[in-house]
């Protein structure tokens, strides 16, 4: 699976997560960012074009060299400097409260211990700062959730460790982050894609 995970999954993810409806969600989730931003699970840099003008710099955490390499063109043409500061969102070498805001998109599904990564976000974002999140996860519809549980073991194998069943609001709350805004929806598309398409988009604040 190493070749698959290292070489194929980043390309597949870049393709699947760069559709028009997904970019619309990316634009919305990035809208409130400013100052120093930590992006956990930077991938191929699909959020870059949506950083607002008030963002001064982006610190990226991304384990995949392939993903980072794929982001090069996007980084080079961005007006904002992007530096890769780490490889693992569960353990980031940066000072407490070093960032104004954090951004995570479609990565809590894949990070092995998302609770640990969110505790790092809480530590690293200044008091009163926000985490902007856009994630897919567990559907409230029992029939879809049943399919998500059935498909989860296959999804993990073919999609680089991705889970379909992560309960995003619970993960945020358990990490001590207060949900300030939350919108949920299915991505538009055929009903058969719903196990992959239940979205959580919003912001959570760090305690002040």
Ligand X SMILES: C[S@@+](CC[C@H](N)C(=O)[O-])C[C@H]1O[C@@H](n2cnc3c(N)ncnc32)[C@H](O)[C@@H]1O
With CB under 6 A as the rule, give the number of residues binding ligand X. 19
Q: Binding residue for ligand X (CB under 6 A) from 25, 64, 130, 196?
A: 64
- Smallest CA-to-CA distance from 8 within 67, 60, 62, 63 is with 67
Regarding 202 and contact with ligand X (CB under 6 A), the answer is: no
Q: How far apart are CA 155 and CA 152, in angstroms?
A: 5
The residue (of 71 and 206) whose beta carbon lies closer to ligand X is 71
Distance CA 201, CA 15 (A): 20
User: 24 is written with which tokens?
Assistant: 């619309």
Q: Does 114 bind ligand X (CB under 6 A)?
A: no
Question: Which is nearer to ligand X, 76 or 208 (by Cβ)?
Answer: 76
Residues 201, 151: Cα–Cα separation, whole Å = 23
Q: Of 69 and 96, which has the nearer Cβ to ligand X?
A: 69
Q: Shortest distance, CB of residue 146 to ligand X, whole angstroms? A: 23
**Interface with ligand X in residues 151-190 (CB under 6 A):** none
Which residues of this chain interact with ligand X, rule CB under 6 A?
13, 17, 40-41, 43, 46, 61-64, 67, 88-90, 105-107, 110-111
């Amino acid at each position: 699976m190493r070749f698959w995970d290292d070489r194929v999954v980043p390309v597949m993810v870049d393709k699947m997560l760069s559709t028009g409806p997904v970019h619309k969600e990316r634009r919305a989730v990035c809208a409130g960012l400013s100052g120093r931003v930590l992006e956990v699970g930077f991938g191929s840099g699909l959020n870059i074009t949506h950083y607002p003008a008030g963002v001064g710099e982006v610190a990226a955490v991304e384990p995949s060299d392939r993903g980072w390499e794929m982001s090069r063109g996007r980084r080079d043409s961005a007006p904002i400097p992007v530096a890769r500061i780490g490889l693992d969102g569960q353990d980031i070498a940066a000072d407490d409260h070093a960032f104004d805001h954090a951004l995570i998109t479609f990565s809590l599904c894949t990070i092995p211990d998302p609770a640990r990564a969110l505790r790092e976000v809480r530590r690293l974002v200044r008091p009163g700062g926000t985490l902007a999140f856009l994630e897919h996860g567990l559907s409230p519809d029992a029939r879809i959730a049943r399919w998500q549980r059935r498909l989860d073991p296959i999804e993990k194998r073919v999609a680089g460790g991705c889970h379909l069943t992560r309960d995003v609001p619970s993960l945020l709350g358990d990490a001590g982050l207060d949900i300030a805004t939350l919108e949920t929806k299915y991505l538009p598309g055929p009903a058969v894609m719903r196990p992959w398409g239940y979205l959580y988009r919003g912001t959570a604040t760090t305690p002040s």
